[in-house]
Structure 1
Amino acid sequence: MAILNWSAAIQHCQQRGSGYVIATIINTQGSTPRDGGSKMVITTDATYDTIGGGQLEFLLVQQARELLAQNKTCQILKPIPLAAEAAQCCGGNVTVMLEAFAACSWQIALFGAGHVCQSLVTILAGLPCQVRVIDNRPELMTNSLPANCRYEFYADPTETIAHLPDDAWVIIFTHDHALDYALCKTLLSDQRWAYAGMIGSQTKALRFRKRLVDAGFAAQAIEKIYSPIGLPEVKGKLPMEVAVSIAAQLQSLYYQRVTVQSGLSTSWRDIKTIMQVQKTTGILCE
Structure 2
Amino acid sequence: MHNWINALADLQRQGEPCVLVTLIEEQGSTPRNAGSKMVISATQTFDTIGGGHLEYKAMQIARDMLANGKQAPDLQRFSLGASLGQCCGGVAVLLFEPMGQVQAQIAVFGAGHVARALVPLLAGLPCRIRWIDEREQEFPALIPAGVQKIVTDEPVDEIKGLPAGCYCIVMTHNHALDLELSAALLTRNDFGYFGLIGSRTKRMKFEHRLRARGISAPHLQRMRCPMGLSEVKGKLPIEIAISIAGEIIATYNAHFGQPSASVEPIKQLLPSSRRSQATN
Report the TM range for the smaller structure's normalisation.
Answer: 0.5 to 0.7
SS in structure 2 at match of 1:99? strand
Percent identical:
31
2:251 maps to 1:251: no
Task: Please state how far the C-alpha of 1:216 moved relative to its aligned partner.
Answer: 1.8
Query: 1:22 & 1:258 partners in 2: Cα distance?
Result: 18
2:97 maps to 1:100: yes
Q: Identify if the C-alpha distance between structure 1 residues 73 and 15 changes in structure 2 by more than 3 Å, giving closer, same or farther.
A: farther
Contact kept in structure 1, 2:19 and 2:62, CA below 8 Å: yes
Contact kept in structure 1, 2:104 and 2:252, CA below 8 Å: no
Partner of 1:150: 147
2:71 maps to 1:71: yes
Which residue of the other structure, out of 176, 192, 195, is the alignment partner of 1:194? Answer: 192
Q: Identify if the C-alpha distance between structure 1 residues 96 and 202 changes in structure 2 by more than 3 Å, giving closer, same or farther.
A: closer
Unaligned regions of 5+ residues in structure 2, if any?
Answer: 27-35, 257-280
Unaligned regions of 5+ residues in structure 1, if any?
Answer: 28-37, 262-286
Task: Please state how far the C-alpha of 1:105 moved relative to its aligned partner.
Answer: 2.2
Task: Please state how far the C-alpha of 1:221 moved relative to its aligned partner.
Answer: 0.8
Query: 2:157 & 2:143 partners in 1: Cα distance?
Result: 23
TM-score with structure 1 length normalisation? Answer: 0.59
Which residue of the other structure, out of 136, 139, 143, is the alignment partner of 1:138? Answer: 136
Query: 1:153 & 1:249 partners in 2: Cα distance?
Result: 21
Query: 1:108 & 1:197 partners in 2: Cα distance?
Result: 11
- 5 Å-filtered alignment, 1:190-229, equals 190-229=188-227
Contact kept in structure 1, 2:228 and 2:246, CA below 8 Å: no
Partner of 2:173: 175
Matched to 1:132, the amino acid is I
SS in structure 2 at match of 1:217? coil
How many matched pairs?
247
Give me the CA root mean square deviation: 5.0
Contact kept in structure 1, 2:22 and 2:38, CA below 8 Å: yes
Q: Identify if the C-alpha distance between structure 1 residues 222 and 74 changes in structure 2 by more than 3 Å, giving closer, same or farther.
A: same
Larger Cα-atom Rg: 1
Contact kept in structure 2, 1:199 and 1:228, CA below 8 Å: yes
Deviation sequence 1:229-248 (CA, Å, 0-9, x none): 34678665x542xx524543
Task: Please state how far the C-alpha of 1:14 moved relative to its aligned partner.
Answer: 2.3
Task: Please state how far the C-alpha of 1:173 moved relative to its aligned partner.
Answer: 0.6
Task: Please state how far the C-alpha of 1:153 moved relative to its aligned partner.
Answer: 1.2
Matched to 2:118, the amino acid is L
Deviation sequence 1:190-244 (CA, Å, 0-9, x none): 32323212123445433322332222221221232122334678665x542xx52
2:12 maps to 1:14: yes
SS in structure 1 at match of 2:103? coil
SS in structure 1 at match of 2:215? coil
